[in-house]
Amino acid sequence: MSERTLVLVKPDGVRRGVVGEVVSRIERKGLKLVALELRTLPRETAEAHYGEHSSKPFFGELVDFITGGPLVAMVVEGPRAIEAFRALAGATDPVKATPGTVRGDFALEIGENIVHGSDSTDSAAREIKLFFPELG
Ligand code: DAT
Ligand code: MG
């Protein structure tokens, strides 16, 4: 049974030049790309995407960061794609993320942890609709 997840290479990842590295790891794992686009997010989209964090003290910084440059948005498909990509990404805090994961290999700061991946079937459906309404 296949499912879809929304993956972002966030502006720090684009700036660092690791888009190809992330795409390569997704493909090596056997997951399939369904959509892929470089774009700069409007503030409203960023606020909607991170809506669950709107009351957190870091929300303003998070929205500034994610809108601060182009990112790469992807829809990725495969068996248990949501969990599979979260495993490739590693823990939210890159210092705690296991080496071998994207965050474990390429990042040091929680606010600049290179990638996003949906965390549940509900959030995947919501996020894919927000970024790629034409896939709905
Ligand atoms: P994840 O991206 O692993 O799903 P999350 O949904 O808890 O993590 O948080 C979303 C993003 O917000 C995360 O990738 C980086 C940022 N963030 C989380 N906790 C933070 C904190 N304590 N300080 C600064 N930024 C934080
Ligand atoms: Mg999250």
Q: Residue 87: what pLDDT?
A: 98
Q: Residue 7: what pLDDT?
A: 99
Among all chains, which residue has been given the structure tokens 């997840």? 5
Q: Is 97 exposed, middle or buried (0-12, 13-18, 19+ CB in 10 A)?
A: buried
Atom of ligand 1 at shortest distance to CA of 89?
Answer: 3
Domain membership of residue 118 as a residue range: 2-135
> Do the Cβ atoms of 83 and 70 come closer than 8 Å?
no
User: Residue ranges of the chain with pLDDT lower than 70?
Assistant: none
Q: Of all residues in the chain, what percent are helix, strand and coil, respectively (each to 5)?
A: 45, 25, 30
Q: Residue 93: what pLDDT?
A: 98
DSSP secondary structure, 32-84, as one string: EEEEEEEE---HHHHHHHTGGGTTSTTHHHHHHHHTSS-EEEEEEEEETHHHH
Which one of 86, 92, 108, 113 would you pick to mutate in the ligand 1 pocket, going by the greatest count of ligand atoms within 8 A of its CB? 92
Residue 13 and residue 2: Cα distance in Å, rounded?
27
Instruction: Tell me the whole-structure pTM to 2 decimals.
Output: 0.98
Is there a catalytic annotation at residue 53?
no
Q: Residue 1: what pLDDT?
A: 84
For ligand 1, is residue 49 a contact (CB within 6 Å)?
no
Kindly state the tokens that stand for 59. Answer: 């929300």
Which of 82, 68, 84, 76 is closest to 23 using CA atoms?
Answer: 76
What is the torsional sign of CA 113, 116, 117, 123? Answer: positive
- Give how many domains the chain has, as a whole number: 1
Residue 31: which CATH number? 3.30.70.141
> Do the Cβ atoms of 13 and 19 come closer than 8 Å?
yes
